[in-house]
């Protein structure tokens, strides 16, 4: 299958944390025609290191693009698309929204004929290791979804899902780096507590976490099976696992992510 031409024109509308990471991934992947927008001079200055034009005018950016990647906060999506109405009604541009909560049907009801793909990446885009879920609106064809896939593949792993899962995915992998990094930090503090030098603790923690993820990626076993390979009866590991079981570590993770999902649904009920 032919790859998208690298001179395709892409406008990143709302170059905040995620938008900036998207821009850097696309530049690294060889896309040559990227422009971006933000709202303030302060942010524009922060982005001045990028080899692209950054505008404070969304219409100017949209006029120079084939694809709009919308990465403003959810409550800004409709105001921004209203400003860009001439470009999005009738499917004149492919719109890829990475905003949480805002559904494709909500946008289709407001912008006649809009071609919209909703995506939920995560901040691991910075390391080109995002886990991104995408879903298609009703005016999207196979070519549009192929383009979205290829763009997000420059940022890591991509999976297409039914939109009914997107709020759960927002709370799961969208917010996921925050949970994993909480664990990482606890692991690191534990290393310091038992007397490891900071740099040694840091490197060993990173490689233990990467290695465990690779084990699951390459192997075909359930995590508990690999965990049991570490636990010697009456040995060292079981004492730690005992504490985690007693203090409800797993239940805490499940409750925490469920709470985030409930919050996503609450916000959705207010916003849309
Ligand atoms: N952060 C994550 O981990 C993550 C993960 C997945 C999805 N998302 C989604 O990505 C979106 C952005 O999140 P974020 O964390 O990157 O937020 P952010 O850092 O606050 O970025 C939002 C950007 O939008 C710009 N902006 C606001 N109003 C605008 C307007 N009217 N026109 C043009 N630009 C405008 C802001 O510019 P100024 O800075 O100049 O005000 C800011 O740079 C959200 O919808 C979120 O749900 C975020």
Portions of the chain given CATH number 1.10.3730.10: 176-269
* Ligand 1 contacts CB of residue 264 (under 6 A): no
Of 65, 134, 60, 73, the closest CA to residue 94 belongs to 65
Beta bridge partners of 23: none
pLDDT tens sequence across 72-105: 999 999 999 999 999 999 999 999 999 999 999 9
71 lines ligand 1 (CB under 6 A): yes
| Mean pLDDT across 7-32 | 97
Distance CA 116, CA 105 (A): 9
Measure the CA–CA gap between 107 and 63, rounded to whole angstroms: 20
Question: If one looks up domain 176-269 in CATH, what number appears?
Answer: 1.10.3730.10
Q: How far is the CA of 179 from the centre of ligand 1 (A)?
A: 21
Q: How far is 154 from 70, CA to CA, in rounded Å?
A: 17
Say how many Å lie between the CA of residue 4 and the centre of ligand 1. Answer: 26
Centre of ligand 1 from the C-alpha of residue 183, in Å: 26
10-22 pLDDT, tens per residue? 999 999 999 999 9
- For residue 233, what pLDDT is reported? 97
CA 17 to ligand 1 center in whole angstroms: 7
Average model confidence (pLDDT) across the chain: 97
Spell out the residues 6+ positions from residue 102 whose beta carbon is closer than 8 angstroms to its own: 74, 77, 78, 118, 271, 272
4 has pLDDT over 90: no
Residue 128 has pLDDT above 70, yes or no: yes
Distances (CA, A) of 146 to 70, 130, 165, 238: 18, 18, 20, 47
Residue 36: which of 80, 71, 83 has the closest Cα?
Answer: 71
Strand-strand pairing, 115-120 and 130-136: antiparallel
Q: How far apart are CA 18 and CA 24, in angstroms?
A: 10
Q: Is the dihedral of CA 205, 207, 212, 217 positive or negative?
A: positive
Instruction: State residue 28's pLDDT score.
Output: 98
Per residue in 129-169, pLDDT tens?
A: 999 999 999 999 999 999 999 999 999 999 999 999 999 99
* Residue 221: per-residue pLDDT: 97
CB of 169 sitting under 6 A from ligand 1? no
Give me the CATH code for the 9-167 domain, please: 3.40.50.720
Q: Where in the chain is the domain with CATH 3.40.50.720?
A: 9-167
Q: Is the pLDDT of residue 2 over 70?
A: no
**pTM for this one?**
0.97
Provide mean pLDDT across the span 14-31.
98
d(CA 211, CA 197): 21
- pLDDT tier for residue 64 given thresholds of 50, 70 and 90: confident
Contact 77, 107 (CB under 8 A): yes
23 lines ligand 1 (CB under 6 A): no
DSSP 233: T
Report how far residue 173's alpha carbon sits from residue 120's, in angstroms, rounded to the nearest whole number: 8
Q: Quick one: which atom of ligand 1 is closest to the CA of 122?
A: 5
Query: Is any ligand 1 atom within 6 A of the Cβ of residue 133?
Result: no
Check if 41 has its Cβ closer than 6 Å to any atom of ligand 1.
no
Percent of the chain with pLDDT over 70: 99
pLDDT of residue 76: 97
Which atom of ligand 1 is closest in space to residue 56's alpha carbon? Answer: 33
- In the prediction, which pLDDT does 272 show? 84
Is residue 1's pLDDT more than 70?
A: no
């Amino acid at each position: 299958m032919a790859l998208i031409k690298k001179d395709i024109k892409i406008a990143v509308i709302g170059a905040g944390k995620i938008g900036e990471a998207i821009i850097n991934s696309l530049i690294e992947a060889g896309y040559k025609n990227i422009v971006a927008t933000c709202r303030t001079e302060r942010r524009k200055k922060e982005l001045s290191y990028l080899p692209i034009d950054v505008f404070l005018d969304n219409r100017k950016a949209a006029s120079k693009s084939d694809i709009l990647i919308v990465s403003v906060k959810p409550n800004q999506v409709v105001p921004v698309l209203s400003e860009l109405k001439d470009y999005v009604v009738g499917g004149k541009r492919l719109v890829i929204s990475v905003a949480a909560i805002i559904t494709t049907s909500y946008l289709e009801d407001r912008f006649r004929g809009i071609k919209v793909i909703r995506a939920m990446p995560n901040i691991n885009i910075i390391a080109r290791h995002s886990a991104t879920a995408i879903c298609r609106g009703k005016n999207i064809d196979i070519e549009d979804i192929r383009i979205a896939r290829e763009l997000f593949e420059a940022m890591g792993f991509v999976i297409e899902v039914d939109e009914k899962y997107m709020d759960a995915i927002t709370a799961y992998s969208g917010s996921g780096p925050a949970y994993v990094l909480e664990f990482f930090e606890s692991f690191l503090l534990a290393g310091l507590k038992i007397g490891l030098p900071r740099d040694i603790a840091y490197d060993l923690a990173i490689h233990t976490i990467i290695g465990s993820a690779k084990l699951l990626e390459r192997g075909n076993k359930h995590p508990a099976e690999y965990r049991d390979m570490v636990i010697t009866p009456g040995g060292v590991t079981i004492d730690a696992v005992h504490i985690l079981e007693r203090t409800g570590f797993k239940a805490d993770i499940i409750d925490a992510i469920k709470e985030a999902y409930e919050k996503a649904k609450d916000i959705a009920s207010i916003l849309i």
